[in-house]
Amino acid sequence: RDNGQVSRRVRAAIRVEGIVQGVGFRPFVYGLAIELGLDGLVGNDERGVFIEVEGGRAPVGEFLAALRGHPPPLAVIERISVERVRAGPGGTGFVIVRSAVGGDRRALVSPDVATCVDCLREMADPADRRYGYAFTNCVNCGPRFTIVRDVPYDRPNTTMAGFAMCADCAREYHDPADRRFHAQPVCCPACGPRLRLVDREGRTIAGDPVAEAVRWLRRDAVLAVKGLGGYHLAAVAAREPAVAALRSRKHREDKPFAVMAPDLAAARRLCAVDETAERLLTGPARPIVLLRRLPEPPELPGAAIAPSVAPGNPWLGLMLPYTPLHHLLLRELACPLVLTSGNVSDEPIAYVDEEAMERLAGIADVFLTHDRPIHVRADDSVVRTFRGRELPVRRSRGYAPQPMALAAGVPRPVLACGAELKNTFCLAKGRRAFVSHHIGDLENYETLRAYTQGIEHFRRLFDLVPEVVAHDLHPEYLSTKYALEREGVDLVGVQHHHAHVASCLADNGECGPVIGVAFDGLGYGLDGTLWGGEFLIADLARFERAGYLEPLPMPGGAAAIREPWRMAAAYLDLALGGCVPDDMDVVRRNADRWPAVVALARAGVGSPRTSSMGRLFDAVAAITCGRDVITYEGQAAVELERRADPAEPGAYECPLLAGAPATTALFTAAGPELVAAVVDDLGAGTPAEVVAARFHNAVARLVADGCARLRDAGAPSTVALSGGVFQNMLLLERATDLLEADGFRVLTHRRVPPNDGGVSLGQAAVAAALDRERG
């Protein structure tokens, strides 16, 4: 038993904490121990996994190394503690012990996981009983969060409850040596869910559902596919008529569609896939990764992307198949597929069968569906890459509800209600924060319902009763109103941009103090105006507004967000001292309403004042790129970034003016001067590509100069960059470069988005910090 060696036996008691249940941890430990010839036991309790191993010093060491180095793919180990205990006589073998009663109660529900290679191999093997089966999964992969109805995470508490395991599946489920040991959604063609292809009236279409669906797709049909967290709408990416039809039926004018490529090789034919992108594309979360497109090679006709997929866009949102159904579909189709959320314009994605049939009947020609219900709607996650790691844009399927470890504890359980658009909520207790899946824009009733139900669901899943409720200060946010209706809790209002900065701190496991640069569309400020171009000196508990973009009116309020030319009007009126030449393109294009909008701004009627950086980008985008009206959030800024020539090093001057007296601000940044420089440059015949780049460089310099000014006045030399504007990679890169060159340490987002999707984590971090101070 000691591999022939004579050595002293040792016994180690090991405790593993983190996401270690429902992820194949016990079979992994069991297999490892058997392989190394160790005696001992493994089991689950409410704290995680406990292990005792006994054997020779060398194999026990090897065991520990493997535990640390190669845990099961889905495990997220937060802590391993090892203690020497007295060794026994040996020869007892290795056993999996029963969980203590209620032991799984607090097991952390894992995110949904992309199909693993072992399952794929079985699906491709004609001799395997799961050959071609669209619901194949194991303890290392498959649906989790989206099918869990309640805890403990057991089959009866999932949407697999209605499927009784057959004898073969049951055997696998109960065999500690099997990859499907305690894999709750285990199933096979004999006992599990089934695919169905139906027409708009719900009538079944005969034949193999996948093969038939592909036949429809090839005839330019729009297909609705039931995925992991909801229905997708699909069309062959190379087929312009199909993609154009999808666009018009969905009422989606310009926003790019995401594409699912059959495999990594196909992805590489479409986009530049570096090491980081490859890791993200093929990882267990399988987000949509925004990647730079390659010029289309004419000799590879299958790799073509129709113009309507992402009109005029050098970037493409790319993902790889993540469910067995996607694998089957893409293998049969053998070319990229547009895969977009199953909804009409801004509605939430459809996930209940009858509702999907009803809502998508005007869009999809056929429905590829199945009988495994989805319990929680989860959109695809979206990420960009920045300096060899991911920068989340939308954190949802594959990530939620993975807890985030907090640097400091949460004395009393916190519910953070999040913002209004791109809402997520966050529950936190102990040292963990559970940021929800992407809920969406709360102004929509369906979304509000998903929000309130989602909060209840998370409370049950994580056994948490909030005692502190954190919320935004905007009085009209439905999340604020929801918070204010809670009874018997302590309410904590957190300023929007403080929440952004705190979310960046929490994301990086830090507490501050830092200079927080929060640039976004807008958020409610302490003075009742709308902020959004903020330099805060902040830690988790408090902040001071140390600098900001000079406020100006937004003529028509929300209308100025939908119509960037209005921001151009407001900026130009200030930049050019009220004398805007009639022959400027942006003025000519909007001549009929220009004087009225300028009058609105001057009179301050229906024109709230804002220091928003997003609105400055809008104004410059309207002036430079002709983007007068947007059809999706952030469109103008996105197009300005896209237009900018990355090789251009020049930058405009953006003076920092002395801060207003009787405020905490050391400076304000003169946005109109930047706009004046843009106008001059364009007037001198400089191409828009160069102007757009110089503007980006100017804003990056504004960030660096502002931070330097604050550091000179005693502020910390660490900077946290947050807010939706920092999804702009050109700005993020330039600003980070400049700051680092000037000796700053720079924190950027890596686990939650810089946009409002990350606000709930920040609110939770602030509420917890204030609660800690109260003691």
Residues within the interface to Fe ion (CB under 5 A): 520, 523, 756
What phi and psi, each to the nearest 5 degrees, are found at residue 12? -120, 135
Nearest distance from C-beta of residue 124 to Zn ion, angstroms = 13
Nearest distance from C-beta of residue 78 to Zn ion, angstroms = 24
The interface with other proteins within residues 411-440 (CB under 8 A) comprises: 419-422
Q: Which does 646 bind (CB under 5 to 8 A by kind): Zn ion, other proteins, Fe ion, none?
A: none
Candidates 44, 140, 158, 718; binder of Zn ion (CB under 5 A) is 140
Residue 505: CA atoms inside 13 Å, Cβ hemisphere, count? 33
Which residue, among 193, 195, 135, 191, has the nearest Cα to 164 in the 3D structure?
Answer: 191
Contact window for other proteins (CB under 8 A) among 8-16, 365-373, 591-599, 726-734: 591-599
In 539-577, at which residue ranges do the beta strands (DSSP E only) sit? 543-549, 552-553
Which residue, among 74, 76, 31, 73, has the nearest Cα to 51 in the 3D structure?
Answer: 31
Candidates 66, 124, 559, 682; binder of other proteins (CB under 8 A) is 559
Q: Tell me, residue by residue from 372 to 411, as one string, x for binding to other proteins by CB under 8 A and - for no binding.
A: ----------------------------------------
3-state secondary structure at position 609: strand
> Is 170 a binder of Zn ion (CB under 5 A)?
no
- The one-character DSSP state at 405 is E
> Is 555 a binder of other proteins (CB under 8 A)?
yes
Name the helix (H) or strand (E) containing 223.
Answer: strand 223-226
> Is 609 a binder of other proteins (CB under 8 A)?
no
β-pairing verdict for 223-226 and 231-236? antiparallel
Residue 402: CA atoms inside 13 Å, Cβ hemisphere, count? 19
What phi and psi, each to the nearest 5 degrees, are found at residue 430? 60, -120
Which residue, among 718, 719, 737, 735, has the nearest Cα to 727 in the 3D structure?
Answer: 735
State which amino acid sits at residue 466: P
3-state secondary structure at position 255: coil
Name the helix (H) or strand (E) containing 163.
Answer: none
Residue 375 vs 474, nearer CB to other proteins: 474
Q: Does residue 343 contact residue 255 with C-beta atoms inside 8 Å?
A: no
Q: Which does 476 bind (CB under 5 to 8 A by kind): Fe ion, other proteins, Zn ion, none?
A: other proteins
Which residue, among 710, 579, 562, has the nearest Cα to 628 in the 3D structure?
Answer: 562
Q: Which does 116 bind (CB under 5 to 8 A by kind): Fe ion, other proteins, Zn ion, none?
A: Zn ion
Q: Tell me, residue by residue from 500 to 529, as one string, x for binding to other proteins by CB under 8 A and - for no binding.
A: --------------------xxxxx-----
Distance, in Å, from the CA atom of 529 to the CA atom of 178, rounded to the nearest integer, reads 60
Which residue, among 432, 439, 396, 440, has the nearest Cα to 414 in the 3D structure?
Answer: 432
Q: Does residue 14 contact residue 67 with C-beta atoms inside 8 Å?
A: yes
> Is 477 a binder of other proteins (CB under 8 A)?
yes
> Is 120 a binder of Zn ion (CB under 5 A)?
no
> Is 530 a binder of other proteins (CB under 8 A)?
yes
> Is 138 a binder of Zn ion (CB under 5 A)?
yes
Nearest distance from C-beta of residue 318 to other proteins, angstroms = 26
State which amino acid sits at residue 202: G
Which residue, among 430, 485, 512, 420, has the nearest Cα to 463 in the 3D structure?
Answer: 430
Contact window for Zn ion (CB under 5 A) among 189-197, 226-234, 308-316, 533-541: 189-197
Candidates 85, 177, 211, 605; binder of other proteins (CB under 8 A) is 605
Q: Tokens for 701, please give them.
A: 């310099």
Residue 196 vs 200, nearer CB to other proteins: 200
Candidates 62, 254, 446, 689; binder of other proteins (CB under 8 A) is 446
Residue 510 vs 563, nearer CB to other proteins: 563
**Distance from CA of residue 267 to its chain's centroid?**
21
Q: Which does 22 bind (CB under 5 to 8 A by kind): Zn ion, Fe ion, other proteins, none?
A: none
Q: Tokens for 21, please give them.
A: 């249940």
Q: Dmax over Cα atoms in the chain, in whole Å?
A: 95
> Is 478 a binder of other proteins (CB under 8 A)?
yes
> Is 676 a binder of other proteins (CB under 8 A)?
no
Helix residue spans in 235-308 (DSSP H) = 240-250, 264-270, 275-282
The interface with other proteins within residues 317-356 (CB under 8 A) comprises: 344-347
Nearest distance from C-beta of residue 561 to other proteins, angstroms = 5
Residue 170 vs 294, nearer CB to Zn ion: 170
Which residue, among 80, 140, 333, 365, has the nearest Cα to 249 in the 3D structure?
Answer: 365
Distance, in Å, from the CA atom of 659 to the CA atom of 667, rounded to the nearest integer, reads 4
Distance, in Å, from the CA atom of 328 to the CA atom of 29, rounded to the nearest integer, reads 32
- Sign of the C-alpha dihedral, residues 455, 458, 464, 468? negative
> Is 251 a binder of other proteins (CB under 8 A)?
yes
Candidates 90, 176, 284, 557; binder of other proteins (CB under 8 A) is 557
Nearest distance from C-beta of residue 500 to Fe ion, angstroms = 6
Q: Tell me, residue by residue from 723 to 742, as one string, x for binding to other proteins by CB under 8 A and - for no binding.
A: -x------------------
State which amino acid sits at residue 411: P
> Is 606 a binder of other proteins (CB under 8 A)?
yes
> Is 183 a binder of Zn ion (CB under 5 A)?
no
Looking at the DSSP bridge assignments, the partners of residue 752 are: none
Q: Tell me, residue by residue from 79 to 118, as one string, x for binding to Zn ion by CB under 5 A and - for no binding.
A: -------------------------------------x--
Contact window for other proteins (CB under 8 A) among 349-357, 477-485, 539-547, 739-747: 477-485
Nearest distance from C-beta of residue 452 to other proteins, angstroms = 10
> Is 450 a binder of other proteins (CB under 8 A)?
no
Q: Does residue 233 contact residue 224 with C-beta atoms inside 8 Å?
A: yes
Residue 328 vs 644, nearer CB to Zn ion: 328
Give the residues lining the site for Zn ion (CB under 5 A): 116, 119, 138, 140-141, 166, 169, 188, 190-191
Residues that bind other proteins (CB under 8 A): 251, 344-347, 359, 419-422, 442-446, 448-449, 474-478, 481, 496, 520-524, 530, 554-561, 593, 595-600, 602-603, 605-606, 608, 614, 633, 724, 755-756
